[in-house]
Chains A and B, each alone.
Chain A
Amino acid sequence: MLLYNVRIAIKSLRRNPVLTAVIIGGIALGICASTTFTTVRHMFARDPLPGKSDRLFYVRMDNWDPHTPYPSGQNSTGPTMPPQVSYRDAMALMRSNIPLRQTAAFRAMLTIYPDPRVARPSSEDVRLCFSDFFTMFDVPFAYGGPWDRRADAKAEQVVVIDDAMNQKLFKGVNSVGKRVRIDDREFTVVGVLKPWRPFIKMYDLNGNFIAQPEPIYLPFSLTPGMQIRSNGNSDGWKSAGTTFEDFLNSDTDWVQLWVELRSPADAEQYHRFVDGYVLEEKKHGRFERPLMNRVTALRELMGEFGVITPQINAMAAISILFLAICALNLTGLLLGKFLARSPEVSVRRALGATRIDVFLQHITECELVGLAGGALGMLLSIGAMKLIGKFISATSVIALDSEMILAALFLSLGAGLLAGLYPAWRICSVQPAVQLKI
């Protein structure tokens, strides 16, 4: 009977192609708008590290000027406090053994000297981090792997490069063990990444989080020796001194500190540890502002740093309303269409169709329209997303993932059902009769 209903529905849709085009087009527009904007929102909102994000925590401490609080930013909804920590505090907190893993990190710009026969020297973005960084953020390796913790401790000259950099420097071969000069030192490659383009750079929400990950990773512990300064944000409220040593010991905030904690209990304990550290520092005249420390889970941090801008939310909301309009429109058109067909239904009823038969026949037509509109809408939204991707110069494509395709499918079936329910119910109550005109 389902196939029969589908066949009857197709015949009915073909009888009035203009009306059918308007109906399907309307639903397609609604689905296109709503999937496009909810997908864009979803790209920003979805869990960047499923199963793990509730164990990764970002550490902040208010070491700002005692006279004026840290100024609040535009999109952030979190507490008004420095978004990063100072080098000295990061190093002190890294001594804790509560976290399962931990890394301090920052972005720098260093000069890399390839084999002169291969390429000219160039300045590149480099991330300074600890070996745990790679495990914590699920960084995928093609060859080799992260350096070990001993390399962190001894500030060994080892480097991890990404796929593109490996292509550029070593023509894409397994380059583990090869050497490359960065600034004035020689480094040994220990790992090469697989192509890795997370939609948001979840480990650096404080910077441009739709930028690409850095192509080069060095042990954080090289920072003092090589006198590497941050090329990302750096916030200070008092003198950072003149020497590099002074800078490292200053209250300038430029380091991002991430810890992986096993359980809420550990998170609790770690927070107490941070509070304890700050209270101790207060005795030495630092941290003069009221005690404010934050150990924030990744997902929560995304909210506080405004990963989803108000505009994205507003557009998603408006696009859902747009779908509602399209569904209402569909209801009106189907109602007219079905009622115009009452004589035919009346004959079918006379010939023995039950109300349920009639209802199913018409709801099938609605679902067919919903599906056709949904499929067309999804095609349209793929185009629309490419366009938006270009606009915001996202480095990874905005694309429908399986979750969103399912959602779109569900949405279009739902829209068809919801829109068709009333018209199909109305047409059911048409009385069978003998004197009819078709």
Chain B
Amino acid sequence: MEFGPIIRALKRNKVRFLLIVVQIAITLAVVTNAITMIRDESVKMMKTSGFDDENIVWVRTKPFAPGFKDLPYRIAAVNADLRAIQATPGVVAVANTNFLPWQGGGSSGEVAAGGGDGSKFRTQMYTNTPGILDALGVHLVSGRGLRDTDIDDDPNSKAPSTAIISRDLERLVFKGKSAIGRQLQDSDNTVINVVGTFDPFYNPYGWPIHEYAVFYAGHVSRRGAMYLVRVAPGSMKQTVPLIEKRMLQANNGRNIDMKTISEIKDNYFAQGRIVRTTMSMVIALIVLVTGLGIVGVTAFSVTERRKQIGTRRALGATKASVLRYFLLENWIVTNAGLILGVAAAYGLNVLLVTKTAGAKLDWRIVVAAVVLLWIQGIIATLIPAMRATRFSPVIATRGA
């Protein structure tokens, strides 16, 4: 209905509207890709370890007493610690282990199925006392858990060791068959008897072996003992100082470090959080800035057309029709920007994917951003256009 005059007005002010078109196009490109980055990071952060992360604390001892040079002394100290920690009020379970969730790595090695085709699989490998599954809050799926009698403290022992493995590793290595009673061989050709499987297990690693784990039975004491302690829900604050006190009572020839898994996890996701926070801010600000740009340009064109609007009003145009005129004008400009923007969004995405290994653009995000920018355009136009409706028809009869 009013397309003719609008198009002619746009043609007369080409550059002004072109600026808005380009701005909207870049905005769409940035917003869609920023949302993609946020979603990418969020997906990573949504990953759960399957452990009772909020209630686990990591304890590390840094021994200095000369006695710790001696293996039997160290083992005795570990056992004393386990008893002392377990007896601390608020503690649910404890294990001596070199596994630390969410540190972004760990220790790994290669295993092959005993009697299999010899193909090797890389997996995370940790040494633990039997309390490990309880300390993580993870369930045994088949077989049995580790026992104290599985532990062999002789460093020169050639006897097979005992281990439980994650269910995903069982699937990978034993091709869907049960691992219970089967053997694994590590790169030293040491035989590992698998006695049980557990689930879930997820610990992000530098290599794609996040779900695979072998938990050997054993003590960890060489460079200071480490423990994972699970406490009763909500009792972390009171329990942590108690644990330290009890451990120093047991043996004060060492220093003790404690970190909750939540802290370690926070640290692991720090960069992801920066990406999320800053990209959210960028989205908000870019929409704001572009919105202000639209407000500005519309305000100028309203001022410029004061007389025209007054004349139209004098000739019987309603307030609604004045509003409709500006909204329609903005809608045409916005749509031109969005069409250009969709192309720009995919262009930028291709660049980010190839140059920076970002995630692919999801069309649903594009649709959502288009809707967002439509709404932004309407609001940004309404603010100055409302002013236009208040111009009195009297303007028309005055000089200028």
- Cβ contact within 8 Å between B62 and A122: yes
- Cβ contact within 8 Å between A333 and B296: yes
Residues of chain A touching chain B, judged by Cβ–Cβ distance below 8 Å, are 19, 22, 26, 29-30, 33, 37, 65, 67-68, 71-74, 109, 111, 113, 120-123, 184, 229, 231, 233, 236-240, 242, 309-311, 313-315, 317-319, 321-322, 324-326, 328-329, 331-333, 335-337, 339-340, 388, 391-393, 422, 426, 437
Inter-chain CA distance A184–B188, complex, in Å, is 32
Inter-chain CA distance A326–B23, complex, in Å, is 9
- Cβ contact within 8 Å between A336 and B299: yes
- Cβ contact within 8 Å between A239 and B300: no
**For residue A77, which residue of chain B has the nearest CB?**
B357
Give min CB distance, B298 to chain A, whole Å.
10
CB-defined contacts of A26 to chain B, threshold 8 Å? 289, 292-293
Give min CB distance, B195 to chain A, whole Å.
24
- Cβ contact within 8 Å between B400 and A437: yes
- A324-B26, A328-B26 known; A315-B279 Cβ under 8 A: yes
Size class of the contact patch on chain B: 35 or more
- Cβ contact within 8 Å between A318 and B64: no
CB-defined contacts of B255 to chain A, threshold 8 Å? 120-123
Give min CB distance, A11 to chain B, whole Å.
20
Inter-chain CA distance A233–B255, complex, in Å, is 23
- A236-B187, A313-B356 known; A393-B267 Cβ under 8 A: yes
**For residue B17, which residue of chain A has the nearest CB?**
A332
Inter-chain CA distance A96–B151, complex, in Å, is 46
Give min CB distance, A358 to chain B, whole Å.
18
- Cβ contact within 8 Å between B286 and A391: no
Residues of chain B touching chain A, judged by Cβ–Cβ distance below 8 Å, are 15-16, 19-20, 22-23, 26-27, 29-30, 33-34, 37, 41, 62-64, 66, 69, 105, 109-110, 120, 122, 155-156, 187-189, 206-207, 223-224, 255, 267, 270-271, 273-275, 277-279, 282, 285-286, 289-290, 292-293, 296-297, 299-300, 303-304, 348, 351-352, 355-358, 399-400
- Cβ contact within 8 Å between A325 and B300: no
- A317-B352, A326-B289, A335-B19 known; A74-B267 Cβ under 8 A: no
- Cβ contact within 8 Å between B19 and A321: no
- A317-B352, A322-B285 known; A391-B274 Cβ under 8 A: yes
**For residue B355, which residue of chain A has the nearest CB?**
A313
Could you list 15 further interchain pairs (A-B, Cβ under 8 angstroms) beyond the known A72-B207, A122-B255? A67-B120, A229-B223, A236-B109, A237-B187, A314-B356, A317-B356, A321-B29, A322-B30, A325-B289, A329-B296, A332-B293, A335-B15, A336-B299, A426-B15, A437-B400
Give min CB distance, B148 to chain A, whole Å.
24
CB-defined contacts of B62 to chain A, threshold 8 Å? 109, 111, 122-123
**For residue A231, which residue of chain B has the nearest CB?**
B223
- Cβ contact within 8 Å between B37 and A391: no
CB-defined contacts of A71 to chain B, threshold 8 Å? 122, 207
- Cβ contact within 8 Å between A310 and B286: no
CB-defined contacts of B279 to chain A, threshold 8 Å? 315, 318
Inter-chain CA distance A29–B187, complex, in Å, is 56
Inter-chain CA distance A72–B122, complex, in Å, is 12
Give min CB distance, A107 to chain B, whole Å.
12
- The DSSP consensus for interface residues of chain A is helix
- Cβ contact within 8 Å between A329 and B64: no
**For residue B303, which residue of chain A has the nearest CB?**
A340
- Cβ contact within 8 Å between B27 and A325: yes
- Cβ contact within 8 Å between A328 and B120: no
Select B300's contact among A123, A310, A336, beta carbons within 8 Å. A336
- Cβ contact within 8 Å between A22 and B285: no
**For residue B60, which residue of chain A has the nearest CB?**
A123
Select B224's contact among A123, A236, A326, A437, beta carbons within 8 Å. A123
Inter-chain CA distance A68–B27, complex, in Å, is 47
Give min CB distance, A78 to chain B, whole Å.
14
- Cβ contact within 8 Å between A113 and B64: yes
Shortest Cβ-Cβ A-B pairs, 5 listed: A336-B300, A123-B62, A121-B64, A310-B356, A239-B188
- Cβ contact within 8 Å between B289 and A122: no
CB-defined contacts of B282 to chain A, threshold 8 Å? 33, 318-319, 322
**For residue B285, which residue of chain A has the nearest CB?**
A29
- Cβ contact within 8 Å between B187 and A336: no
What are 16 A-to-B residue pairs whose CB atoms are below 8 Å?
A29-B285, A68-B120, A122-B255, A233-B105, A238-B188, A310-B355, A311-B271, A315-B279, A317-B348, A325-B26, A325-B290, A328-B22, A332-B296, A335-B15, A335-B19, A391-B277
